[in-house]
Amino acid sequence: MTPSSAAAGVENVLRMLEGRWKLVILFHLFGGKLLRFSDLERAIPAISQKMLIQQLRQMETDGIVRRIVHHQVPPKVEYGLTDWGQSMCPALDTLLKWAAAKPD
């Protein structure tokens, strides 16, 4: 594994997690919770609708988040993590621990 190929691998991972709000959203979904669009809006007041839907869609495309549509009126759409999305927890934990170990 060359420096650049390894970097490319991590960069692609990071790209999936980049975006001002993705991690905030993810942390609200961890634990297998299912939240409606409006639930997420309430949980994250600072986010705009545009950003919320955009980041959700990107994570859906990346296979991290799943979207569950209940065909009813009024509409009901729930968001949750995929199995793979759930499985990122340990990785984020490792990163957090590294960050927490910062000297100074």
Partner DNA sequence: CAGAATCCGTTATGATACTG
Partner DNA sequence: CAGTATCATAACGGATTCTG
Contact 41, 52 (CB under 8 A): yes
Position 73 contacts a copy of itself (CB under 8 A): no
Partner whose footprint covers residue 11, from a copy of itself, DNA, none (CB < 5 to 8 Å by kind): a copy of itself
Q: How far is the CB of 15 from a copy of itself (least distance, A)?
A: 9
58, two tokens? 């990107």
- Residues in region 10-39 near DNA by CB under 7 A: 18-21, 36-39
Q: Single out the residue of 13, 56, 19 nearest to residue 35, CA to CA.
A: 56
Contact 36, 30 (CB under 8 A): no
89, two tokens? 């927890």
Where do contacts with a copy of itself occur on this chain (CB under 8 A)? 3-4, 6-7, 9-14, 16-18, 23-24, 26-28, 30, 43, 63, 83-84, 87-88, 90-92, 94-104
